[in-house]
């Protein structure tokens, strides 16, 4: 005799989480980083549910609001409040989780439908000046494989506005040096085509001809950038490369790998690039995200004006 499936209310929270993450991976194609962040968020939520003696399927909107409020004020015994941007992500995770449960028929009413986090302050990103970028990119000197790799990596990240994950994920087939084009795989496995400038093309060509073969040898390694062992470069490895050259350029503490992406966008806007084209090159799904750089560009113009105009300063 067939055994009846367990009632939804008796299913372990861990099973619900696994089903949800599988849905995000297979149906929505979210990136590995987003999936890992959501898994961590739900694990933390599960611990809180146990502490409160609550069920994930019976929790109320008020109780969810209490959970979010405690994160923002650091009242969970950790002594430190969670950053507003992180709280916003956790709110988005819970809203998506309970929306999925509602669509699957696991719950009748969605307690997270009207859940909101703290308002995110729109902090302008840090960018480098053109002179600072030139100093950073001029740092890797010599013809050793490491110097050729570092120069090509920094040039390409600035030339194309690449995220860290996109840079380390680049494969040989993604770069067309003859056409000066590159295929980047962004968030949610979305692909976009980005032009590659002359300096970056020259640096990548030198790396492919005189640097990469020395490190890779006969190993069939598909990634464009590799470490000293000839294996695909990791996020941590890329971060160390950028920080090493930032220190040498006197920019330590003022930049991260993502700063090159911000600088790429700001410098393009200052040079006359239209917002829609920039959105396409950055791979932003929402134009509002790209518009932040308009504000940043305006701030830099204002700073330049007040520091240079003889009738604008005191």
Residue 40 CB coordination number (10 Å) = 13
Amino acid 151: pLDDT: 96
Q: What is the pLDDT of residues 170-221, one digit of tens each?
A: 999 999 999 999 999 877 678 899 999 999 999 999 999 999 999 998 888 9
Domain with CATH 1.10.150.130 in the chain: 11-103
Could you say which DSSP state residue 80 is in? S
* More confident site: 7 or 219: 219
Distance (Å, rounded) from C-alpha 69 to C-alpha 114? 14
Catalytic: 116? no
Catalytic: 239? no
Catalytic: 187? yes
Q: What is the pLDDT of residues 20-32, one digit of tens each?
A: 999 888 777 777 8
Catalytic: 305? no
Amino acid 4: pLDDT: 45
Res. 166: pLDDT tops 50: yes
Amino acid 300: pLDDT: 59
Res. 121: pLDDT tops 70: no
CA 245, 303, 162: angle at the middle one, nearest 5? 40
Of 103, 114, 125, 27, residue with least CA distance to 62: 114
Domain 132-269 CATH superfamily:
Intergrase catalytic core (1.10.443.10)
Amino acid 75: pLDDT: 46
Distance (Å, rounded) from C-alpha 48 to C-alpha 53? 8
272 sits in the region (left: phi over 0; alpha: psi -120 to 50; else beta) called: left
Tokens of 119: 């308002």
Res. 81: pLDDT tops 70: no
Amino acid 279: pLDDT: 87
Catalytic: 240? no
Beta bridge partners of 194: 182
Tokens of 8: 């939804």
Are 134 and 117 spatial neighbours (Cβ–Cβ below 8 Å)?
no
Distance (Å, rounded) from C-alpha 154 to C-alpha 142? 15
Write down the catalytic residue from 223, 261, 262, 267.
Answer: 261
Q: What is the pLDDT of residues 247-257, one digit of tens each?
A: 999 988 888 88
Res. 1: pLDDT tops 50: no
Residue 114 CB coordination number (10 Å) = 10
Span 108-121, average pLDDT: 79
Write down the catalytic residue from 163, 185, 212, 262.
Answer: 163
Q: What is the pLDDT of residues 36-74, one digit of tens each?
A: 989 999 999 999 999 888 899 999 998 998 888 887 655
Q: What is the pLDDT of residues 259-314, one digit of tens each?
A: 899 999 888 888 888 888 888 888 887 787 787 777 766 655 566 566 656 665 54
Write down the catalytic residue from 76, 135, 244, 258.
Answer: 258
Write down the catalytic residue from 102, 187, 205, 235.
Answer: 187
Res. 5: pLDDT tops 50: no
Amino acid 79: pLDDT: 47
Domain with CATH 1.10.443.10 in the chain: 132-269
Question: 11-103 — its CATH code?
Answer: 1.10.150.130
Of 166, 164, 165, 155, residue with least CA distance to 197: 155
- Cβ-count burial of 135 within 10 angstroms (0-12 exposed, 13-18 middle, 19+ buried)? middle
Catalytic: 245? no
Beta bridge partners of 181: 176, 195
- Cβ-count burial of 220 within 10 angstroms (0-12 exposed, 13-18 middle, 19+ buried)? exposed
Distance (Å, rounded) from C-alpha 93 to C-alpha 231? 34
């Amino acid at each position: 005799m067939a055994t009846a499936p367990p009632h939804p209310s008796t299913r372990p929270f861990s099973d619900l989480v696994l089903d949800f993450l599988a849905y995000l991976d297979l149906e929505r194609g979210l990136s590995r980083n987003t999936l890992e962040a959501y898994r961590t968020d739900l694990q933390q939520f599960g611990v809180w549910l146990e502490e409160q003696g609550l069920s994930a399927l019976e929790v109320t909107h008020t109780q969810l609001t209490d959970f979010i409020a405690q994160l923002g004020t650091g009242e969970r015994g950790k002594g430190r409040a969670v950053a507003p941007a992180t709280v916003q992500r956790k709110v988005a995770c819970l809203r998506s989780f309970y929306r999925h449960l509602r669509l699957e028929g696991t719950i009748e009413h969605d307690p997270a439908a009207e859940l909101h986090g703290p308002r995110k302050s729109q902090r302008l990103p840090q960018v480098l000046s053109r002179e600072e970028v030139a100093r950073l990119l001029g740092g890797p000197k010599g013809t050793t494989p490491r110097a050729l790799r570092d120069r090509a990596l920094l040039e390409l990240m600035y030339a194309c506005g690449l995220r860290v994950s996109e840079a380390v994920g680049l494969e040989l087939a993604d770069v067309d040096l003859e056409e000066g084009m590159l295929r980047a795989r962004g968030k949610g496995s979305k692909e976009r085509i980005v032009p590659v400038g002359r300096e970056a093309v020259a640096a990548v060509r030198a790396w492919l001809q005189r640097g990469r073969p020395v490190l890779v040898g006969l190993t069939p390694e598909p990634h464009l950038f590799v470490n000293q062992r000839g294996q695909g470069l990791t996020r941590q490895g890329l971060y160390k490369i950028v920080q090493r050259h930032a220190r040498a350029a006197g920019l330590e503490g003022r930049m991260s790998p993502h700063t090159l992406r911000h600088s790429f966008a700001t410098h393009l806007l200052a040079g006359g690039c239209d917002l829609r084209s920039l959105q396409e090159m950055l791979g932003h799904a929402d134009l509002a995200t790209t518009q932040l750089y308009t504000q940043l560009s305006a701030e830099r113009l204002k700073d330049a004006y007040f520091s240079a105009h003889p009738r604008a300063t005191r």
